Amino acid sequence: MTLSIITPVLNEEENILAFLAHIDDLEDPLELIVVDGGSTDGTCRALEAAAGSFSHRLTVLSSPAGRGVQMNAGARHATGAVLLFLHADCRITPDAPDAIRRALEREGVIGGGFRHAFASRDSLLYLTSWFGNLLAARTQTFFGDFGIFVEKEAFFEIGGYESLPYLEDVEFSRAARRHGRLVQVDRPIIVSPRRYHLMGKYRLSTVYILVMLLNVVGIRPRRFIRYVVEK
């Protein structure tokens, strides 16, 4: 099973080299597709400079900004049978590709995600991860920083990600459940708490609760974009 890791980026110059080093430690076979949404810093230069020493196949694409748009663009260029959508500030275990393979061998399973954990001991962030993991286990709903993976053929049958200002991951999970089962594999994905530090953990937590509640009735106020979409 060849795994295609798809990573949408926008102004990730400070983090991209550490992310590439992390991917280099993962088990073969895999390819990495980085889709830039119009970075104005040195993200693309850093990727270009690092390409020669990267041990896996690396493809760098450009697309209009927007996580859903960028991830769809990456999926169209993927050569692997399985897609893993992985943010640049997330870290998975070296055996994660094998855990994905074994999960997809289960009857009716077309995709899923990992067990979420922040790289922080903060009690509010621990509670946030706990609730997200409970939601994933009970409802097969995965947020983008859970490391959503899916069979490529199923991804295109589902229709890919919708072009939404945010919560494209929640809507993708909802659509995917009509095509097969999603499972949470027993491997952690370690997520940077940088947005909580930048925006304020209480403010950002409140915004996330609001956008989830409003999304239930199909309302996605653009005023929240600056809080929930990485820049």
Give CA–CA dist 144/151, Å, rounded: 16
CA 187 – CA 26 distance, rounded (Å): 14
- Which pLDDT tens digit goes with each residue over 176-191? 999 999 999 999 999 9
Q: Is the residue at 220 inside a domain?
A: no
Model pLDDT, residue 11: 96
pLDDT band at 231 (very low <50, low <70, confident <90, very high): very low
Q: Is residue 124 part of a domain?
A: yes
pLDDT for res 164: 81
- What rounded mean pLDDT belongs to the chain? 92
* Exposed/middle/buried for residue 53 (C-beta within 10 Å: 0-12, 13-18, 19+): exposed
For position 223, what pLDDT does the model report?
58
Domain span at residue 163?
3-191
Q: What is the model's pLDDT at position 82? A: 98
Grouping H, G, I as helix, E, B as strand and the rest as coil, residue 169 is helix
pLDDT digits (tens, 9 = 90+) for 157-173: 999 999 887 789 999 99
Question: Would the pLDDT of 142 be above 90?
Answer: yes
The pLDDT value given to residue 221: 57
The total number of structural domains in the chain stands at: 1
Residue 158, domain member (yes or no)? yes
CATH at residue 143:
3.90.550.10
The CA–CA distances, whole Å, from 231 to 59, 60, 112, 116 equal 21, 18, 26, 21
CA distance 133 to 148: 13
Write the pLDDT tens digit of every residue in 29-79.
Answer: 899 999 999 999 999 999 999 999 999 999 999 999 999 999 999 999 999
Nearest to 110 by CA among 171, 156, 63, 155: 155
CB 56 within 8 A of CB 30: yes
pTM here is 0.93
Q: How far apart are CA 106 and CA 183, in angstroms?
A: 10
Pairwise pLDDT comparison (209 vs 226), residue with the higher score: 209
Q: Is 209 part of a structural domain of the chain?
A: no
Determine, yes or no, domain membership for 159: yes
Which among 132, 112, 114, 116 is positioned nearest to 180, based on CA atoms? 112
Has residue 204 been placed in a domain? no
> Averaged over 1-9, what is the pLDDT?
94
Considering only CA atoms, which of 85, 90, 89, 130 is closest in space to residue 112? Answer: 85
* 92: Cα separation from own chain's centroid: 11
Is 216 domain-assigned? no
Q: What integer pLDDT is reported at residue 105 of this predicted model?
A: 97
- pLDDT tens sequence across 143-156: 999 999 999 999 99
